[in-house]
Amino acid sequence: MSALLDTDGEALLGALRGLLAAKGLATPAEVAERLALTERASPAQGARIVAKAWTDPEFRARLLADGTATVEALGIPMRGAPPLGVLENTAALHHLVVCTLCSCYPRAVLGYPPFWFKSAGYRARAVRDPRGLIAEWGTVLPAGTAIRVVDSTADYRWMVLPLRPAGTDGWTEAALAALVREGDMVGVTVPVAP
Amino acid sequence: MTELAPGTRVRVRDDWPEARGPCHIRTPHYVRGRQGVVVRRLGAFPNPEDLAFARPAPRRALYHVRFDETALWPDGRAGDDLLVELFEHWLVPA
């Protein structure tokens, strides 16, 4: 194993790609397509989904009922990705997503997880002291709002649909999407209108 | 296993396979032996405990189970809770 770890990464990747092609498991074109899909996924896609849910009640209902099919209909490729669940924040309930076992993250809609999401500190504290944890982002929930921590332990991936901030009546979808940050869809922060 | 209806009170098995040898489990330590409530069935998925070792992996029902924070931590806050994905073979009716 240590010999493997010392090997040049590019050489290793080249050997792996060669084997995938030689064994007929994945063509170079398929590998390139998957790389491109992975690179394209970013929090901007999640923000677009959130903004649409804020402005289109029918879309919102479908999104909450079946995240995978609903975002796929928006043109976000979900083939081969784990099913997507969407957690709706309300005035009474705020969601916070964590993966205590590793770093499961809804990559198809949010891209690569932020570094802190994978840290042992975040994973341990999210389930033990969620309010203290999000306070470090400056997030303090209003009195009367409960917090629900969602631990991604198995086959689903979860994203949060945050509350639409006050003072955004009449905003366009694009303007709303620009308000939504990565942390809002994990639940460590909440979107605010400037 | 018979299907667990939403609202069913369940206990997570207080089992520690990692003490017996190599294993791969998706049941976090902090819920083992604890009581929660089934929220809904998420579907059925190949058992990751077998998949991880490239063994034939039968599909098992996966549930979303809700735990009160106070049922897990001595300093838990009443009203706050956690949702965890758990496979059927880890759950027994409480």
Domain range A42-185, CATH architecture: Alpha-Beta Complex (3.90)
Interface test with B, best of A86, A150, A151 (most B CBs within 10 A): A151
Show residues of chain B in contact with A156, CB under 8 Å.
42, 62, 85
Q: How confident is the model at residue B14 (pLDDT cuts 50, 70, 90)?
A: very high
Judged by CB atoms closer than 8 Å, whether chains meet at A154 and B87 is answered as yes
The beta-carbon neighbor of B48 closest among A128, A149, A154 is A154
- Are the CB atoms for A63 and A70 separated by under 8 Å? yes
Average pLDDT, chain B: 97
Q: Is residue B48 assigned to a domain?
A: yes
pLDDT at B49: 97
**Does the pLDDT value for residue A46 go beyond 80?**
yes
A38 vs B1: which has the higher pLDDT = A38
Which residue range(s) make up the domain with B51?
9-93
Q: How far apart are CA B49 and CA A143, in angstroms?
A: 41
The DSSP call for residue A68 is: H
Angle at the Cα of A2 (from A35 to B24), degrees rounded to 5? Answer: 70
Average pLDDT, chain A: 94
* Per-residue pLDDT reduced to its tens digit, A54-80: 999 999 999 999 999 999 999 998 988
CA–CA distances in Å: residue A16 to residues A13, A28, A35, A36, A179: 5, 11, 15, 18, 41
**Does the pLDDT value for residue A1 go beyond 70?**
no
Three-state DSSP state, B60: strand
Q: Looking at CA atoms only, how far is residue B79 from chain A in angstroms?
A: 6
In total, how many domains does chain B have?
1
**What residues of A are annotated to the active site?**
99, 102-104
Interface test with A, best of B82, B86, B90 (most A CBs within 10 A): B82
Judged by CB atoms closer than 8 Å, whether chains meet at B73 and A147 is answered as no
Helix axes of A28-40 and A9-22: crossing angle, nearest 10 degrees = 130
pLDDT at B52: 95
* The A93-98 sheet, strands edge to edge: A93-98, A146-151, B81-87, B59-68, B35-46, B9-12, B91-93
* Per-residue pLDDT reduced to its tens digit, B68-83: 999 999 999 999 999 9
Q: In chain A, what are the domain boundaries?
A: 2-39, 42-185
The beta-carbon neighbor of B42 closest among A148, A151, A156 is A156
Is the CB of A120 inside 8 Å of chain B's CB atoms?
A: no
Q: What is the mean pLDDT of residues A112-131?
A: 97
Q: Is residue B3 assigned to a domain?
A: no
Instruction: Quote the percentage of chain B above a pLDDT of 90.
Output: 98
pLDDT at A34: 83
Site of tokens 């959130």: A50
Instruction: Quote the percentage of chain A above a pLDDT of 70.
Output: 97
Q: Are strands B81-87 and B59-68 parallel, antiparallel or unpaired?
A: antiparallel
Enumerate the β-bridge partners of residue A87. Answer: A160
Q: What would the two tokens of residue A174 be?
A: 């694009």
How many other CB atoms are there within 10 angstroms of residue A18's CB atom? 11
Q: What is the mean pLDDT of residues B16-29?
A: 96
CA A157 to chain centre: 8
Q: How far apart are CA A85 and CA B82, in angstroms?
A: 15
Is the CB of A191 inside 8 Å of chain B's CB atoms?
A: no
pLDDT at A33: 86
Three-state DSSP state, B47: coil
Q: Looking at CA atoms only, how far is residue B88 from chain A in angstroms?
A: 12
Q: Which of residues 48-107 of A touch B (CB under 8 A)?
A: 83, 85, 100-101
Q: How far apart are CA B15 and CA B68, in angstroms?
A: 21
ipTM over 0.95 threshold: yes
* Per-residue pLDDT reduced to its tens digit, A143-184: 999 999 999 999 999 999 999 999 999 999 999 999 999 999
Q: Indicate the range of A12-21, A86-95, B54-63 predicted with least confidence.
A: A12-21
pLDDT at A2: 58
Show residues of chain B in contact with A83, CB under 8 Å.
42-43
| Structural Rg of chain B based on CA atoms | 14
Judged by CB atoms closer than 8 Å, whether chains meet at B82 and A128 is answered as no
Please report, for the domain that includes residue B72, its CATH number.
Answer: 2.30.30.50
pLDDT at A52: 98
**Does the pLDDT value for residue A4 go beyond 80?**
no
Judged by CB atoms closer than 8 Å, whether chains meet at A131 and B73 is answered as no
How many other CB atoms are there within 10 angstroms of residue B6's CB atom? 11
pLDDT at A8: 85
